[in-house]
Amino acid sequence: MNKVQIILFYLNALGAMGYSLIAPLFPPLFKERGLSNLVCSYIIACISLTNVIAAIYCSFLSEKFGQKNLLLFCVTGQNICIFLYGFSIYINNNPFFIFFGFVNRLAHGFFAGIINVASFSIISQITKGKELETATGYMELSWGVGLTIGPTLIGILFDIGGYSMPFIVIGIFALSGIYYTYYEVFLLI
């Protein structure tokens, strides 16, 4: 794997971690607030809706803004969403908490969907021949790694520092994704 492929693997693994970030933490928070488990499950699941929509419109957005610009914008947006989850515990108004959960999760799904599609597109542009199959496999693997490591890391960080800690730590890792996207992907492609 070359440097750009490693960075895209990292970005997609972080995206998958962010994808699974609220699943272990939101249900107990909803129970503590006396809110419905059904609403909680809708918030957790709605990320897939905008993920699919983003994937559909990614080619149009790539043509309009450029893949690298779109990737940088979405890595930044995903990072903001991850940090915002960490501060959602401080929203005391339950209806606004639910509204915020939906809006943030939908935005996160949009950003994650575009990162995934843009990564595959960039991989197909910079990788040739039989290496393309391997690189594509690694991109798929990155989601599996992120979905596996994410909940485990989240549980450990929650035990160490409470509700906001996982979002802050993963958000800091995601900040490095902004750096790598700009200084490495932009300059190497």
Name the nearest CA neighbour of 14 among 158, 154, 162, 131.
154
CA distance 131 to 154: 33
pLDDT of 4 reads: 85
- Going from the first residue of the chain to its last (189 residues), give the mean pLDDT of each consecutive group of 10, the final group possibly shorter: 87 87 89 92 91 86 85 91 91 95 94 88 86 90 92 92 91 86 72
Alpha-carbon span 69 to 83, nearest angstrom: 21
At residue 189, the pLDDT reads: 66
pLDDT value at position 181?
82
* Residue 36 region by backbone torsions, left for phi larger than 0, else alpha for psi between -120 and 50, else beta: beta
Answer for the pair 31, 37: CB distance below 8 angstroms, yes or no. yes
CA distance 150 to 16: 7
Cα–Cα distance measured from residue 175 to residue 163, given in angstroms and rounded to the nearest whole number: 19
Of 4, 173, 166, whose CA–CA distance to 75 is shortest?
A: 173
Residue 5 CB burial class (10 angstroms; 0-12, 13-18, ≥19):
buried
Instruction: List C-alpha distances in Å: 77 to 6, 120, 167, 171.
Output: 21, 19, 14, 11
Residue 175: what pLDDT? 87
H or E stretch including 133? helix 130-161
